[in-house]
Structure 1
Amino acid sequence: MPASVYIGLMSGTSLDGIDAVAVSFEPHFRLLGTHSETLPESLNQNIRSLLAPGDNEIDRLGMLDLDLGKAFAGASNNLLAKHKLAHADIRAIGSHGQTIRHRPEHHFTLQSGDPNTIAEHTGIMTIADFRRRDMAAGGQGAPLVPAFHNALFHSPETNRVIVNIGGMANLTVLPACPDAEVLGYDTGPGNVLMDSWIHEHQQLSYDRNGNWAAQGNVIPQLLEQMLSLPFFHEPAPKSTGREQFNLIWIQRMLTLLDQAPNNTDVQATLAELTATSIAMAIRSHGLETAEVYLCGGGSHNRHLQQRIQALLPGYTVATTAALNLHPDWVEAVAFAWLAKQTLENLPGNMPTVTGASGYRILGAIYPA
């Protein structure tokens, strides 16, 4: 067993479950075990009810915080049991938590999933609350994964772009030149709009392989209206969330159309919005050549991957599996890495990415 093993926990804006990984980084990176759990439907509904303003929010958030803490602890314990790893071998858990609000325009972000509860129910030191120190230093608090992408995926031989497609999509530009700045930011919606639309009309949680979107035709007027949103044209640093991209926003966009559209065509347009906003962002950096690697749940959407490739002629598009890390586990591994950075008194943010005034050690430590 490596001397220092970390657990990383991630529950993203797609609300599709908890991803847990056990990893070591010394003497080199090793993925020792993975585990994923679907959130109980009652817990999922409680999260969704808090994603928009409502009644009795403080009490509901307090109860959700405890319930999510227990769920994260359970996922950690199940990961260890599944891979026959001892609790005593784990140096720390790095927990992202579940984002309930991300409001960089108001300089705050809120993740739920009580780390005290995680530490208590696992007996393992837990590190959480990674985003707010960056915000305190004037940053967006997101995205945080580019520092990890740079540590694990940088190549001195070729430009690389890592694109995480979760509920939202974000990218990291890793220039081959060691003197060039690493850049990263949210590009806009990833799966969130497609997931919302198919759930509304087919009661499915996601569009498997993008099959429904592939059956439709893009509505040019709708795509143009959506892309006119100022966010897509703002310079980095920038980050976004469900506060901006949600079912209500889709419905508002639809009221501006000349005629009522076919639901399948709307899904095709939402997929094209994600692909186009990602491709626009990548092209804006003027890289003559680059390798583009996708991760996150959206990397399994074949239709989406094909559209991104079509919009990026001259670039190669693959998943991070080609870099020896399965695309489903990249973000969870990133938060294990961030926990390691915290304990080693090393920064976890990149000011060129978040806009913070400098490098900062991120996260709060909750002893076992």
Structure 2
Amino acid sequence: MSNLFLGLISGTSADGIDAALVEFPDRDNAAGLRLVAARTHAWAPVLRERLVALGQGGEPGSLDELGRLDVQVAQAFATAALALLDEAGIEPAQVVAIGSHGQTLRHRPHGDAPFTMQIGDGSVIAERSGIATVADFRRRDVAAGGHGAPLVPAFHAALLHSPAEDRAVLNLGGIGNYTLLPANGEVRGFDTGPANALLDAWCLRHTGHAFDADGAFAASGQVDDALLARLLDEPWFALPPPKSTGREQFHLDWVQAKLCGGEAPADVQATLLELSAATVAEALRAQQPGTARVIACGGGVRNPQLLQRIAGRLPGVAIEDTAAHGLDPDFVEAMAFAWLARETLAGRPGNLPAVTGARGPRVLGVVHPA
């Protein structure tokens, strides 16, 4: 049996579809896994613009539009998978399965009818690629009373736990989230709030660039302490784990409501960066104060200003990225969904109830045969 699995994810920022082809030499654990190939596939600009708008709380124009988007996202995911395999010289028949996260449009794990919605029809991906596809990973956990997020901590724990020190894995995607890996004790994880989502959106609005390269725009401004205090006053930050959030909560309208008017755009960017750093640091101090090492991944590791501010707020804590542990920081989440697909096909749970708040371990996802 082949040991190749392919993971696909487009995160909160919808800045591209990450595809990772992973080999698992051991059928029962993640030891010795190898990233065979990886690439980021760009969204068609008009489609991305619509996905971002909907992810920020916009409403679809009709059920017809939502249905079309579900298929269009799946087609884009299938194209990303096939392009990666073509570059790697791998035939689809050699891949056991695709694990597809899809694109989140809504995440509402609270209320009398909690739900989470990731579009990108797994049937279309399986049909287009010719590869069995596992999709819709989050909804089973939500049905079991959990948040459906974060789901990557089990993968982090399998690869990055150390019995010698308390560690934390920090994913700096559109939304920040932690996996807490104590040397001894239960793995925990939770979202911290906005990481790149607000930075990217504000930068696009005021510079025309999709992201703040090297944090240069933020570095050109000054932190507005009064604005920072208003942003930090958001009640969500004070909630205890398990907790999760998304672009539908932290978006530019939320920022706009906190402004007094007349703030320099660069100062707002600097303040949003400080918000990300402050919430990341405060969450770690509150939940695992003895952390010796933070291992970062996600797009935020490419922003030296953000990493410097996080380090400045966590004196005495070693800050490094997953590359120091043999994992490409740009593709850890895509690799995790390849792993989750493997767990699903093996009949093993993919969630950690201590992380998501679910009533118990659950096998995640829906399998769409090739």
Alignment TM-score, normalising by the size of structure 1 = 0.96
Amino acid at match of 1:40: A
Amino acid at match of 1:109: T
Q: Unaligned stretches of 5+ in structure 1?
A: none
Check conservation: 2:3, 2:25, Cα contact below 8 A.
Answer: yes
> Could you tell me which residue of structure 2 aligns to residue 192 of structure 1?
197
* SS of match in other structure, 2:110: helix
Check conservation: 2:180, 2:288, Cα contact below 8 A.
Answer: no
Amino acid at match of 2:197: V
Alpha-carbon displacement from aligned partner over 1:23-48 (angstroms, at most 9, x marks no partner): 02223211111121110102112212
Comparing 40-49 and 357-366, the one that deviates more: 40-49
> Could you tell me which residue of structure 2 aligns to residue 163 of structure 1?
170
* SS of match in other structure, 1:140: coil
Output the CA distance in 2 between the equivalents of 1:240 and 1:55.
20
Output the CA distance in 1 between the equivalents of 2:281 and 2:174.
17
Whether 1:218 and 2:223 are equivalent positions in the alignment is yes
Check conservation: 1:162, 1:172, Cα contact below 8 A.
Answer: yes
Check conservation: 1:16, 1:39, Cα contact below 8 A.
Answer: yes
Q: Unaligned stretches of 5+ in structure 2?
A: 27-31
Amino acid at match of 1:70: Q
> Could you tell me which residue of structure 1 aligns to residue 12 of structure 2?
13
Amino acid at match of 1:330: V
Output the CA distance in 2 between the equivalents of 1:349 and 1:59.
33
Output the CA distance in 2 between the equivalents of 1:176 and 1:42.
46
**Alpha-carbon offset, residue 53 of structure 1:** 3.3
**Alpha-carbon offset, residue 225 of structure 1:** 0.8
Pair 145,252 (structure 1): closer, same or farther in 2 beyond 3 Å: same
**Alpha-carbon offset, residue 55 of structure 1:** 5.2
- Alignment coverage as a number of residue pairs: 362
> Could you tell me which residue of structure 1 aligns to residue 132 of structure 2?
125
* SS of match in other structure, 1:16: coil
- Of 293, 303, 306, the residue aligned with 1:304 is 306
**Alpha-carbon offset, residue 260 of structure 1:** 2.4
Alpha-carbon displacement from aligned partner over 1:313-358 (angstroms, at most 9, x marks no partner): 0100011111110100000000000001101111100000000010
Output the CA distance in 2 between the equivalents of 1:153 and 1:121.
35
Q: Where do 4+ consecutive residues of structure 1 move more than 3 Å? A: none
* SS of match in other structure, 1:346: coil
CA RMSD of the aligned region, Å?
Answer: 1.2
Output the CA distance in 2 between the equivalents of 1:118 and 1:55.
22
Amino acid at match of 1:4: N
Alpha-carbon displacement from aligned partner over 1:90-143 (angstroms, at most 9, x marks no partner): 000000000011111241000011111100011100000000000011000101
Check conservation: 1:13, 1:99, Cα contact below 8 A.
Answer: yes
- Of 143, 146, 151, the residue aligned with 2:150 is 143
Aligned-residue sequence identity (percent) comes to 50
Check conservation: 1:289, 1:314, Cα contact below 8 A.
Answer: no
Check conservation: 1:50, 1:61, Cα contact below 8 A.
Answer: no
Pair 233,85 (structure 1): closer, same or farther in 2 beyond 3 Å: same
**Alpha-carbon offset, residue 286 of structure 1:** 4.1
Whether 1:207 and 2:206 are equivalent positions in the alignment is no
- Of 47, 69, 74, the residue aligned with 1:64 is 69
Amino acid at match of 2:343: Q
Pair 310,124 (structure 1): closer, same or farther in 2 beyond 3 Å: same
> Could you tell me which residue of structure 2 aligns to residue 265 of structure 1?
267
Alignment TM-score, normalising by the size of structure 2 = 0.96
Alpha-carbon displacement from aligned partner over 1:189-232 (angstroms, at most 9, x marks no partner): 01011111111111110101111111211111111111111111
* SS of match in other structure, 2:244: coil
